[in-house]
Amino acid sequence: MSRDSLILACPACDSLNRVPAERLGEAPNCGKCHSPLFQQRPIALDQNNFEIHSGRADLPLLVDFWAPWCGPCRAMAPAFEEAARLLEPGVRLAKVNTEDEQSLAARFGIRSIPTLVLFRGGREVARQAGAMNAAGIVQWVRAQAH
């Protein structure tokens, strides 16, 4: 990310914010709702806000496609939370509940859960099925960086 400023989607109100790249680590707040733009935890995405966070914001987006009935998904949840603390502000982490958002799961061909999908500029760049620990998630995401 060599740009001078980045467009970030607010995890609270989904507003787009322009933030100077050098200020990413300074806990910037949303210009509209004043919530922190980084909350060091995954955000919940649905059909209504998925495009804003995946395609209109400049940060890479790592999405955990999961379901509440899935044991491995529940087991991986704390590791995904920890990965958010380790990867922000360079990567946004989000969760999509495939039970509630079946159209998103179908759109991305999610066949097993948990499945992690990394998006850049609205396009899928990498995918990993199966539960991972926090270190594995961080290592996998960083290996995808070009």
The SS3 of residue 79 is: helix
Q: Which of 13, 30, 33, 73 is catalytic?
A: 73
Predicted confidence band of residue 1 (pLDDT cuts 50, 70, 90): very low
**Residue 10 a catalytic site member:** no
Cα separation, 109 vs 24, in Å, equals: 33
In tens, the pLDDT along 14-69 reads 999 999 999 988 999 999 999 999 999 999 999 999 999 999 999 999 999 999 99
33 noted as active-site residue: no
pTM equals 0.94
Quote the pLDDT of residue 46: 97
**Torsion, CA 93, CA 48, CA 106, CA 40, rounded to 10:** 10
Going from N- to C-terminal start, the domains of the chain cover 40-144
Catalytic residue among 10, 13, 30, 70: 70
CATH topology of domain 40-144: Glutaredoxin (3.40.30)
d(CA 91, CA 84): 8
Question: For the segment 83-100, what is each residue's pLDDT rounded down to a tens digit?
Answer: 999 999 999 999 999 999
Q: Which residues are CB-contacts of 140 (< 8 A; sequence separation ≥ 6)?
A: 116, 126, 128, 132
